[in-house]
A and B are shown apart, each in its own frame.
Chain A
């Protein structure tokens, strides 16, 4: 009994530490006062100025485009990579996974600077360079989502389809792909959130004039903290949360 209550208190504490700062941020975004300690009443004016601000709206557009395009491309590359890794011998799989996981574990700042150095040699930094960077760090997430699905799949289904007269392409799209779809979707949404979340790598690989929401917030905050940044951060948090929930839903629904 005591253990149970202690456990509950422990989890409660963790949740408080994790979410109170975010909740405070969200609360402040509705605060009519510019002060961070005085509650001046409820208002939506920061959100209004937010949506009237053209540089913020363009950063929003860039973020969305970046997230979805990089996630889509990474899903495609990751799908074929996962199938390739799946059909390798056990030893090669380990080596391959080690290398694909490096971008996952590597410090963002190292990846960011490395990619920047690499990109400036070949083309001017801009939207394309950020996009390429995002695709790069998204691929391992997609692979990690698809590989377990491949491993639990009965690969004989593919042979059965071939046996029943299907060409390789038909068997792949009709039999393998639907089975992998939950994994692909989970990987896609994971990649979307990772791309939206990212600040460090984006910061180093973006050229002048290109801003995502996170780099924009960073730039604005250096000039002084404005309440519309609270609003913007809240919007960003909410977006990522929604996508994460969708990703989890698609995964579990298909499994049942």
Chain B
């Protein structure tokens, strides 16, 4: 494994009374494509700005290649940023924009010219040297912003929701482009997004964040297939999250019915969250089903149908399937043991408090 390039140790940051990042530890390896993923307000952009040097953590340290850079201003860091809304210099041409960092480093004109051409080729916009930024489309501006950052040969490129302002088609194209760039340049990418699909497509490692805490770190496959808690499961793709009881190893009880699963290591009769991805719920004839249910609604989504099935154990499943089942029809439901993902109930303080609040409310209501 490659060495750790960036290390964040015990970082906390608050704005006023609002705690945005709470005692966070994270390291990022060389040549990794790391995505910080989470809903808005989860602290991901603040974390990126701390790495870039635009915010100082209240406590904690930032290490770059083993050196403490916590107090270093942004212009002395070996990282470059691609900003959310590009932040191109509006009164300069594309070439002047790209040359900005090189001129500060006092590179000679031939070198700069060559670099500009190289960078524009790299982002597929050759010949755009003399255009003004506001004459470019959003996607083109985005590419120029990337070109402007990479000509400085940073060791790390920080990207703050760079594709957020683009339409779907362009966003997908740019995703491939970014992966290609990362492979060609061999530099570390730290990418911030709230778009889980984007994160799954591009990343080597995904860091899922919520309320200033890291919820899970792992490869896209890990995060999708083995979410560690209900938040991650819910945030990454759609899923059925159901209350269950772990009767014993490899057996989970849902709605009074026992299902075989593959998870082990839980306490006997522990209350757990069970995650089943909608594409893992199989519908068929009533006779072939382990449990049965009735189709409540069906929506055509293009690639698949999205179906709500109310099962006889009292739980409504969301199902994605390419088959069409009319509303009101009775179906059999099967889920193979591999596709149950069992998780401990949340332990983070916030969530526990939330649960307690709800419990108190329930008592009052009853």
Shortest distance between the CB of B160 and any CB in chain A (Å): 9
Q: Are A165 and B105 interface neighbours, CB within 8 A?
A: yes
Q: Are B87 and A159 interface neighbours, CB within 8 A?
A: yes
Q: Are B83 and A166 interface neighbours, CB within 8 A?
A: no
Shortest distance between the CB of B141 and any CB in chain A (Å): 11
Q: Does B225 contact A (CB under 8 A)?
A: no
Q: Does B118 contact A (CB under 8 A)?
A: no
Given the known inter-chain contacts A164-B148, A170-B104, please indicate yes or no for A154 contacting B85, CB distance below 8 A: yes
Measured in the bound complex, the distance between the Cα atoms of B89 and A163 in whole Å is 13
Q: Does B220 contact A (CB under 8 A)?
A: no
Q: Are B90 and A161 interface neighbours, CB within 8 A?
A: no
Q: Are B104 and A166 interface neighbours, CB within 8 A?
A: yes
Measured in the bound complex, the distance between the Cα atoms of B89 and A159 in whole Å is 11
Q: Does B124 contact A (CB under 8 A)?
A: no
Q: Does B142 contact A (CB under 8 A)?
A: no
Shortest distance between the CB of A184 and any CB in chain B (Å): 13
Q: Does B311 contact A (CB under 8 A)?
A: no
Given the known inter-chain contacts A154-B90, A170-B104, A179-B90, please indicate yes or no for A162 contacting B85, CB distance below 8 A: no
Measured in the bound complex, the distance between the Cα atoms of B90 and A178 in whole Å is 9
Given the known inter-chain contacts A164-B101, A165-B101, please indicate yes or no for A156 contacting B85, CB distance below 8 A: yes
Of residues 81 to 123 in B, which have CB atoms within 8 Å of A's CB atoms? 81, 83-85, 87-91, 100-101, 104-105
Seen from chain A, the residues whose Cβ lies within 8 Å of a Cβ on chain B are 154, 156-157, 159-167, 170, 174-175, 178-179
Q: Does B75 contact A (CB under 8 A)?
A: yes
Q: Are A159 and B83 interface neighbours, CB within 8 A?
A: yes
Q: Does B73 contact A (CB under 8 A)?
A: yes
B87's contact among A154, A167, A170, A174, by CB below 8 Å, is which?
A154
Q: Are A163 and B85 interface neighbours, CB within 8 A?
A: no
Shortest distance between the CB of B54 and any CB in chain A (Å): 6
Q: Are A165 and B152 interface neighbours, CB within 8 A?
A: yes
Q: List 7 A-B contacts (CB under 8 A).
A: A156-B83, A159-B81, A160-B148, A161-B89, A161-B100, A165-B75, A165-B76
* Known A154-B85, A160-B89; further 8 A-B contacts with Cβ < 8 A: A156-B87, A157-B89, A157-B90, A160-B87, A162-B74, A163-B80, A164-B75, A174-B100
B81's contact among A163, A166, A174, by CB below 8 Å, is which?
A163
User: Which residues in A have their C-beta under 8 angstroms from that of B81?
Assistant: 159-160, 163
Shortest distance between the CB of B148 and any CB in chain A (Å): 7
Q: Are A162 and B83 interface neighbours, CB within 8 A?
A: no
Q: Does B212 contact A (CB under 8 A)?
A: no
User: Which residues in B have their C-beta under 8 angstroms from that of A174?
Assistant: 100
Measured in the bound complex, the distance between the Cα atoms of B85 and A167 in whole Å is 22
Counting chain B CB atoms within 10 Å of each CB, the highest count among A162, A163, A165, A166 belongs to A163
Q: Does B52 contact A (CB under 8 A)?
A: yes
Q: Are B75 and A159 interface neighbours, CB within 8 A?
A: no
Chain B residue with the shortest CB-CB distance to A170? B104
Of residues 187 to 202 in B, which have CB atoms within 8 Å of A's CB atoms? none
User: Which residues in A have their C-beta under 8 angstroms from that of B152?
Assistant: 164-165
- Flag B306-338 by CB within 8 Å of A: 1 or 0 each: 000000000000000000000000000000000
Q: Are A163 and B91 interface neighbours, CB within 8 A?
A: no
User: Which residues in B have their C-beta under 8 angstroms from that of A154?
Assistant: 85, 87, 90
Q: Are A179 and B87 interface neighbours, CB within 8 A?
A: no
- Flag B207-225 by CB within 8 Å of A: 1 or 0 each: 0000000000000000000
Q: Are B100 and A179 interface neighbours, CB within 8 A?
A: no
